[in-house]
Amino acid sequence: MKESINKSLEIKKVKPTAMRQLVLDILSKQEHAIGLPELEAQFAQADRTTLYRTLKTFVTKKVIHSIDDGTGTIKYAICKDTCQCNPNELHVHFYCTKCEKTTCLTDIAIPDVPLPQYYIAENINMVVKGLCDKCSKKN
Amino acid sequence: MKESINKSLEIKKVKPTAMRQLVLDILSKQEHAIGLPELEAQFAQADRTTLYRTLKTFVTKKVIHSIDDGTGTIKYAICKDTCQCNPNELHVHFYCTKCEKTTCLTDIAIPDVPLPQYYIAENINMVVKGLCDKCSKKN
DNA sequence: AAATACTTTGCAACTTAGTTGCACCAATAA
DNA sequence: TTATTGGTGCAACTAAGTTGCAAAGTATTT
Ligand SMILES: [Mn+2]
Ligand SMILES: [Mn+2]
Ligand SMILES: [Zn+2]
Ligand SMILES: [Zn+2]
């Protein structure tokens, strides 16, 4: 709803323009992560650039996080209000090769990996590919 | 050297054409994973399509593995002769945001993640972004 | 050896996602 | 009100990847 969307934007210090409210509203209703092309498709008429820049702003301000699922199109999904996208609070993502949906496994934290000496981690992307629960049952 | 390259191709059952030998030779000399555009640049004159299809064949036949490092260009690196690219034998990759190189951390296995019920893992991509050993020291 | 089938290669054309420059508009501060 | 700042929309572009198709090369059969 409108209220919680404005609250999210306020928390993350993003000016709540009409466009941004709309985009965030759509994103918040998604069951799966979506990409710019899919987002664009949800509008009867909207400019790709504006949506592109809205997503970019959202990512910078940590309203949403981006997911590189290996399909060639970056996906996006909402962050929790408390999320700061630090390496230690990141979760695993899942890409289903059958239904081609990308899911946030919000409950599964990315495990800590030991890096070789002098390597410094700033961010981690972990995507498991395979069959999602719905698709694995349909066999 | 030529010998080991032909051996690799033989092991993975790929017909050793001149083009494939050349590509594999270049790939085997790389310190970091490279993408199609970079591979193309290493040839004075070569057709992108052929290189593209060579890489595709190599990935299918597990001569090389692909790495989605989040830059928008898929990177490729050689697999061990014994590699079957099963989820349990995959390693972590590292992308340095400073030198922009993608490295195989071959010694660091991707940790096993517990998936929610009915999810089936076929493949995993884990990329850590940050500063590599060389770049972190140069500060 | 010649004919046939199959595979690989090269060219051109195309798709798609992402990105940039620039002008215009809206909100806000001076 | 005017100046400044930030957001939006359009058009044009880049870069990576991908496809169809024909030519060239390789292997197999007759
Ligand atoms: Mn997520
Ligand atoms: Mn690797
Ligand atoms: Zn699925
Ligand atoms: Zn580096």
pLDDT in tens, A105-130: 999 999 999 999 999 999 999 999 99
Q: Residues B35-75: pLDDT tens digits?
A: 999 999 999 989 999 999 999 999 999 999 999 999 999 99
Question: Pairing between strand B64-67 and B34-35?
Answer: unpaired
Nucleotides of C under 7 A from a protein CB: 7-13, 16-21
Checking each nucleotide's C1' against the CA of B72, the nearest proves to be D16
Which residues does A35 contact at the CB level (< 8 Å), separation at least 6? A73, A74, A75, A76
Q: How confident is the model at residue B103 (pLDDT cuts 50, 70, 90)?
A: very high
At A18 the pLDDT is: 94
pTM here is: 0.92
Residue B18 distance to chain A (closest CA, Å): 30
Task: Indicate if the pLDDT at residue A80 is higher than 70.
Answer: yes
Binary contact (B119, A127; C-beta < 8 A): no
The range of the structural domain enclosing residue B97 comes to 2-138
At A3 the pLDDT is: 75
CATH number at residue B25: 1.10.10.10
Amino acid B13 CA to nucleotide C7 C1' distance, rounded Å: 14
- Who among B92, B105, B119 is closest to A94 (CB)? B119
Average pLDDT of A34-63?
96
Element (H, E) at A60: helix A48-60
Chain B residues lying within 8 Å of A122, measured CB to CB: 97, 129-131
Binary contact (B92, A107; C-beta < 8 A): no
Q: How confident is the model at residue B137 (pLDDT cuts 50, 70, 90)?
A: confident
Instruction: Choose between A121 and A137: higher pLDDT.
Output: A121
At A139 the pLDDT is: 65
Cα gap A61→B36, rounded to integer Å: 33
At B1 the pLDDT is: 59
Average pLDDT of B5-28?
90
Q: How confident is the model at residue B139 (pLDDT cuts 50, 70, 90)?
A: low
Give chain A's domain count: 1
Task: Indicate if the pLDDT at residue A45 is higher than 90.
Answer: no
Q: How confident is the model at residue A87 (pLDDT cuts 50, 70, 90)?
A: confident
Binary contact (A70, B68; C-beta < 8 A): yes
